[in-house]
Amino acid sequence: MTNIQLQTLAQLKENLHISYSQISCYMNCPLKYMFRYVKGFPPERVSSALIFGKSIHTGIEHFYITYKRKQEKADVNTVQELFADVFSSEINKAEAPVVFRRDENKDTSISMGKAMLKAFCKSAKLKDTEIIGVEMPLSARLYTDTGKFTDFLIIGVIDALIKNCDGDIVAIDNKTALRAKSSEDVEKDLQFSVYGYLLCANKYVAKTEDAYCRMDVLRKLKNPKVEKYGTIRTPSDRKRLAKIAVNVLTAIENQAFYPVRSWMCSGGCEYKDACYSW
C-alpha cells in the first residue's frame, strides 16, 4: 500500500469500525477474537502461511500498480525479488516463533512463492482492462438489514478493482491455496459480501445492481497455476452481510467469548496456549 493508503486506513481505524477480518475471526472462534482484539495479546506463534500470503500480495500489488501506471506488465524477476525480500524481512523481524509446515522452510517457501508469481504474471490477461485501484481502503456506514443507522463503519481493503473489457467493474481478491476452491467456497465467502457492501456505498455499484467479484487463487503445486472464480453479490447479499455484522457486534458487546474447536486449532493458532489455560 502507498503511504497515503496506509494513512487513510489508519484514519478509518480510529473510528468505531468492524472489518471482514474481525467478523471472520469472531465467527471462527469468539475466544480468539477476545485474545486478539479485546485483550490485545501478542501472538504466541506466527504461521508462515500468513507471512507468505502477505508477501505474495506485495508482489501482485506491484504487478497491478505497474500496469496501472505504464500500461505494461511488470518484470517477472522484479515481482519475484520483491516477494522474496518482503518474506525474508517479515520472517526475520517476527516477534514470535514462525511455524512452518513439516515439508516447508524459508528457502522452499521462497522458491514456491517465486514459481507462483511467475505463473501469476504469465496468466494475467489485462488487454482492454482498466485498473481502477490497487489495495484500495474503503469504508461505509453500517446499517442494519432494516436500514437503521449504527455508529459503526465497516472497513476493508480491496486487493484490486478493475473495469474489464465488457465495461463491468470487478473486485478481485487474491488468495494462495493448496487445494482448488469449490463453487460453494466462493459463493459463501463473506469477503465478497463486504466488497459488495463497500462498492455500493462508495457508488461503484448502484443500489439495485449486483456487484461483480473474482477470486484469483494461486495454487501451491509442483507446477503452480492460477485459478479464477467469478461470483456476484446481490443487494440481498449486502443486506444479509449487514445483518451478520450487526449481530456479531451485538455478541461482542455482550462479551460472548467462547472457544470453537476446528481444524484451525491444529494449524498453528497463535493463541493455542492462552486457549488451553482459559
**Is 272 a domain residue?**
no
Q: How many domains does the chain have?
A: 2
**Is 181 a domain residue?**
yes
Q: What is the pLDDT of residue 92?
A: 95
Report the CATH number that the domain containing residue 141 is assigned in CATH: 3.90.320.10
pLDDT per residue, tens digit, the chain (278 aa), is 777 787 777 776 888 899 999 999 999 999 999 999 999 999 999 999 999 999 999 999 999 999 999 999 999 999 999 999 999 999 999 989 999 988 899 999 999 999 999 999 999 989 889 999 999 999 999 998 888 999 999 999 999 999 998 999 999 999 999 999 999 999 999 999 999 999 999 999 999 999 999 999 999 999 999 999 999 999 999 999 999 999 999 999 999 999 999 887 876 789 999 999 99
Q: What is the pLDDT of residue 59?
A: 97
Domain span at 182: 1-38+128-267
Question: In the Cβ-directed half-sphere of 13, how many Cα atoms lie within 13 Å?
Answer: 14
Q: Look at the block and give the residue holding cell 525480500.
A: 85
Contact 106, 91 (CB under 8 A): yes
**Is 273 a domain residue?**
no
Are residues 177 and 88 part of one domain? no
Are residues 246 and 202 part of one domain? yes
Contact 96, 44 (CB under 8 A): yes
Are residues 235 and 160 part of one domain? yes
**Is 199 a domain residue?**
yes
**What is the DSSP code (8-state) at residue 55?**
H
Are residues 255 and 135 part of one domain? yes
Chain centre to alpha carbon of residue 175: 8
Task: Report the DSSP pairing between strands 225-233 and 149-163.
Answer: unpaired
Q: What is the pLDDT of residue 268?
A: 72
Partners of 42 in the beta sheet? none
| Residue 69 three-state SS | helix
**Is 278 a domain residue?**
no
**Is 103 a domain residue?**
yes
Contact 85, 91 (CB under 8 A): no
Q: Residue 32 burial (CB < 10 Å; 0-12/13-18/19+)?
A: buried
Q: What is the pLDDT of residue 267?
A: 64
Please give the torsion angle defined by the CA atoms of residues 140, 142, 146 and 149, in that order, rounded to the nearest 10 degrees: -100
Last residue of a domain, one of 124, 140, 163: 124
Indicate whether this model's pTM tops 0.85. yes
Are residues 224 and 112 part of one domain? no
Are residues 47 and 88 part of one domain? yes
